[in-house]
Amino acid sequence: MNTEQADEMTRRVMSYSKNMDFKTYSGIATFFRANLCEDLSEVDVALVGLPTDAGLTQRTGARHGPREVRSQSCNILYYNPQTKVIPFELARIADIGDVRLLNSFNLDRVIAEIHEFYVKLQEAGVVPVTVGGDHSITYPILKALGAKRPVGLVHVDSHIDATGRIADSTVHHGAPFKNAVDDGVLDPKRTVHIAIRDPAAEFETFAHETGQTVIDIDRFYELGVKGVIAETRRIVGDGPTYISFDIDGLDPAYAPGTGTPAVGGITSHEAKKLLQGLRGLDIIGGDLVEVSPPFDSAGITALAGAQLAFEILCLAAEAFAKRRAV
Amino acid sequence: MNTEQADEMTRRVMSYSKNMDFKTYSGIATFFRANLCEDLSEVDVALVGLPTDAGLTQRTGARHGPREVRSQSCNILYYNPQTKVIPFELARIADIGDVRLLNSFNLDRVIAEIHEFYVKLQEAGVVPVTVGGDHSITYPILKALGAKRPVGLVHVDSHIDATGRIADSTVHHGAPFKNAVDDGVLDPKRTVHIAIRDPAAEFETFAHETGQTVIDIDRFYELGVKGVIAETRRIVGDGPTYISFDIDGLDPAYAPGTGTPAVGGITSHEAKKLLQGLRGLDIIGGDLVEVSPPFDSAGITALAGAQLAFEILCLAAEAFAKRRAV
Amino acid sequence: MNTEQADEMTRRVMSYSKNMDFKTYSGIATFFRANLCEDLSEVDVALVGLPTDAGLTQRTGARHGPREVRSQSCNILYYNPQTKVIPFELARIADIGDVRLLNSFNLDRVIAEIHEFYVKLQEAGVVPVTVGGDHSITYPILKALGAKRPVGLVHVDSHIDATGRIADSTVHHGAPFKNAVDDGVLDPKRTVHIAIRDPAAEFETFAHETGQTVIDIDRFYELGVKGVIAETRRIVGDGPTYISFDIDGLDPAYAPGTGTPAVGGITSHEAKKLLQGLRGLDIIGGDLVEVSPPFDSAGITALAGAQLAFEILCLAAEAFAKRRAV
Amino acid sequence: MNTEQADEMTRRVMSYSKNMDFKTYSGIATFFRANLCEDLSEVDVALVGLPTDAGLTQRTGARHGPREVRSQSCNILYYNPQTKVIPFELARIADIGDVRLLNSFNLDRVIAEIHEFYVKLQEAGVVPVTVGGDHSITYPILKALGAKRPVGLVHVDSHIDATGRIADSTVHHGAPFKNAVDDGVLDPKRTVHIAIRDPAAEFETFAHETGQTVIDIDRFYELGVKGVIAETRRIVGDGPTYISFDIDGLDPAYAPGTGTPAVGGITSHEAKKLLQGLRGLDIIGGDLVEVSPPFDSAGITALAGAQLAFEILCLAAEAFAKRRAV
Amino acid sequence: MNTEQADEMTRRVMSYSKNMDFKTYSGIATFFRANLCEDLSEVDVALVGLPTDAGLTQRTGARHGPREVRSQSCNILYYNPQTKVIPFELARIADIGDVRLLNSFNLDRVIAEIHEFYVKLQEAGVVPVTVGGDHSITYPILKALGAKRPVGLVHVDSHIDATGRIADSTVHHGAPFKNAVDDGVLDPKRTVHIAIRDPAAEFETFAHETGQTVIDIDRFYELGVKGVIAETRRIVGDGPTYISFDIDGLDPAYAPGTGTPAVGGITSHEAKKLLQGLRGLDIIGGDLVEVSPPFDSAGITALAGAQLAFEILCLAAEAFAKRRAV
Amino acid sequence: MNTEQADEMTRRVMSYSKNMDFKTYSGIATFFRANLCEDLSEVDVALVGLPTDAGLTQRTGARHGPREVRSQSCNILYYNPQTKVIPFELARIADIGDVRLLNSFNLDRVIAEIHEFYVKLQEAGVVPVTVGGDHSITYPILKALGAKRPVGLVHVDSHIDATGRIADSTVHHGAPFKNAVDDGVLDPKRTVHIAIRDPAAEFETFAHETGQTVIDIDRFYELGVKGVIAETRRIVGDGPTYISFDIDGLDPAYAPGTGTPAVGGITSHEAKKLLQGLRGLDIIGGDLVEVSPPFDSAGITALAGAQLAFEILCLAAEAFAKRRAV
* pLDDT surpasses 80 at B141: yes
Note whether B276 and D271 are within 8 A (CB): no
Residue A202 has pLDDT above 80, yes or no: no
Q: B158: helix, coil or strand?
A: coil
How high is the mean pLDDT of chain B?
95
Output the pLDDT for position B57: 87
Q: Which residue of D has its CA nearest to F63?
A: D25
Q: Report the distance separating Cα C241 and Cα C250, nearest Å.
A: 22
Q: Is the pLDDT of residue B201 over 70?
A: no
Q: Chain B residues contacting C, CB < 8 Å? A: 57-59, 166-167, 196-203, 205-206, 209, 216-218, 221, 251-253, 256-257, 260-265, 295-297
- Residue A266's pLDDT is 98
Across A18-22, A150-154, A306-310, least confident range: A18-22
Angle CA B134–B140–B143, to nearest 5: 145
* Disruptive mutation site among A17, A21, A24, A25 for chain C (greatest number of C CBs within 10 Å): A25
**DSSP symbol at E168:** T
As a whole number of angstroms, the distance between CA A155 and CA E116 comes to 52
For residue C288, list its beta bridge partners.
Answer: C131, C245
Q: Give the model's pLDDT for residue D202.
A: 63
- At A271-304, the pLDDT tens digits run 999 999 999 999 999 999 999 999 999 999 999 9
**How far is it, in rounded angstroms, from Cα B292 to Cα A293?**
14
For residue D73, the SS3 value is helix
Sequence-distant contacts of F211-215: CB under 8 A, at least 24 apart: F212/F160, F212/F162, F212/F177, F212/F181, F212/F188, F214/F160
Tally of domains within chain D:
1
Q: Which of A312-316, B10-14, B218-222 has the lowest mean pLDDT?
A: B10-14
Quick one: pLDDT at residue A306? Answer: 98
String of b and e for B269-307 (b: at least 16 CB within 10 Å)?
A: bbbbbbbbbbbebbbbbbbbbbbbbbbbbbbbbbbbbbb
User: Which residues lie below 8 Å from residue C241, measured CB to CB, with a gap of 6+?
Assistant: C151, C152, C153, C154, C190, C281, C282, C283, C284
For residue D250, the one-letter residue type is: L
Beta carbons within 8 Å of B286's beta carbon, 6+ residues apart: B129, B130, B242, B243, B244, B245, B312, B315, B316
In this structure, are residues E145 and E151 in contact, taking their beta carbons and an 8 Å threshold?
Answer: yes
Segments of chain E scoring below 50 in pLDDT:
none
**DSSP summary character for residue C270:** H
* CB pair distance less than 8 Å for C263 and D22: no
Residues from E contacting F (CB-CB < 8 Å) are 57-59, 166-167, 196-203, 205-206, 209, 216-218, 221, 251-253, 256-257, 260-265, 295-297
**Count of Cβ atoms closer than 10 Å to residue F295 Cβ:** 25
* Residue B195 CB partners (closer than 8 Å, separation 6+): B156, B157, B158, B215, B216, B217, B220, B249, B265, B266
CA F89 – CA B48 distance, rounded (Å): 64
pLDDT of D201 reads 66
- Give the range among B208-212, D125-129, D212-216, F166-170 with minimum mean pLDDT: F166-170
DSSP code per residue over D266-295: B-HHHHHHHHHTTTTSEEEEEEEE-B-GGG
Contact C107 F105 (CB under 8 A): yes
Closest CA to E146 of E171, E172, E115: E115
Question: Computed from CA positions of residues E226, E227, E232, E237, in that sequence, does the dihedral angle turn out positive or negative?
Answer: positive
Per-residue model confidence (pLDDT) at position C204: 74
Nearest to A268 among F202, F216, F264 (CB): F264
**Is the predicted pLDDT of residue F203 greater than 80, yes or no?**
no
Query: What stretches of chain D show up as alpha helix (H) in DSSP?
Result: 3-14, 65-73, 87-90, 107-123, 138-145, 176-182, 205-209, 217-236, 268-276, 300-325
Q: Can you give the pLDDT at residue B174? A: 93
The answer, yes or no, to whether residue C199 has pLDDT greater than 80, is: no
Contact: F106, C104; criterion CB under 8 Å: no
For F216-225, what is the mean pLDDT?
97
DSSP code of residue B264: S
User: Alpha-carbon distance E83 to E313, whole Å?
Assistant: 12
Rg of chain A over all Cα atoms, to the nearest angstrom: 18
Cross-chain residue pair B1–D202, CB shorter than 8 Å? yes
- Hey, what amino acid is at D276? Q
Residue type, C247: I
Nearest to E67 among B51, B71, B101 (CB): B71
d(CA B305, CA B290): 9
* A44-84 confidence digits (pLDDT tens): 999 999 999 999 989 999 999 999 999 999 999 889 999 99
Strands (E), chain E: 45-50, 93-98, 127-132, 151-156, 186-196, 213-216, 240-246, 282-289
Q: Please give the average per-residue pLDDT across C8-36, as a whole number.
A: 91
Q: What is the pLDDT of residue E7?
A: 83
At how many degrees (to 10) do helices A268-276 and A217-236 cross?
20
As a dihedral over the C-alpha atoms of residue D288, residue D293, residue D295, residue D296, rounded to 10 degrees, the angle is 80
Distance from CA of E194 to the nearest CA of F (A): 14
CB count in 10 Å sphere of residue E123: 10
Q: Compute the distance between CA of residue A91 and CA of residue E272 in angstroms, rounded to an integer.
A: 44
pLDDT tens-digit series, residues C236-265? 999 999 999 999 999 999 999 999 999 999
pLDDT of residue F290: 98
Would residue F15 count as lying in a domain? Answer: no
In 3D space, the residue among A171, A173, A167, A164 whose CA is nearest the CA of residue A60 turns out to be A173
Percent of all residues in chain C with a pLDDT value above 70, rounded to a whole number? 99
In this structure, is residue B24 part of a structural domain? Answer: no
B40 vs A2, more confident: B40
Amino acid, res. C234 = R
pLDDT at position D314, please? 98
**Where in the sequence is the domain holding A77, given as residue range(s)?**
3-325
pLDDT tens-place values along chain D, 326 residues long = 677 888 888 888 889 999 988 888 999 999 999 999 999 999 999 999 999 999 998 999 999 999 999 999 999 988 999 999 999 999 999 999 999 999 999 999 999 999 999 999 999 999 999 999 999 999 999 999 999 999 999 999 999 999 988 888 999 999 999 999 999 999 999 999 999 998 776 677 899 999 999 999 999 999 999 999 999 999 999 999 999 999 999 999 999 999 999 999 999 999 999 999 999 999 999 999 999 999 999 999 999 999 999 999 999 999 999 999 98
What pLDDT shows up at residue F201?
65
Give me the pLDDT at residue C201, please: 66
Evaluate if residue A11 carries a pLDDT over 90: no
B5 lies in a domain?
Answer: no
CA–CA separation, E143 and B237 (whole Å): 65
Long-range pairs, F171-174, Cβ under 8 A, ≥24: F171/C105, F171/F55, F171/F107, F171/F108, F171/F111, F171/F136, F171/F139, F172/C105, F172/F55, F172/F56, F172/F57, F172/F107, F172/F136, F173/F55, F173/F56, F173/F57, F173/F134, F173/F135, F173/F136, F173/F259, F173/F290, F174/F57, F174/F135, F174/F200
Chain F residue at shortest CA distance from D20: F100
- Is the C-alpha dihedral spanning C258, C260, C265, C266 positive or negative? negative
For A4, name the nearest residue in chain F, comparing CA atoms only: F205
Report the C-alpha gap between F300 and A298 in whole angstroms. Answer: 12
Tell me the nearest-neighbour CA distance from E268 into chain A, angstroms: 5
- pLDDT value of residue C200: 72
Q: What is the pLDDT of residues F120-132, one digit of tens each?
A: 999 999 999 999 9
Q: For D22, phi and psi rounded to 5 degrees?
A: -75, -15
Average pLDDT for residues B247-269, to the nearest whole number? Answer: 97
Closest alpha carbon within chain E to F303: E263
* pLDDT band at residue C157 using 50, 70 and 90 as cut-offs: very high
CATH no. for residue F146?
Answer: 3.40.800.10
Contact F108 C106 (CB under 8 A): yes
pLDDT bracket for residue F202 (50, 70, 90)? low
Cα separation, D171 vs D186, in Å, equals 15
CA angle D266, D67, F311 (to 5 degrees): 150
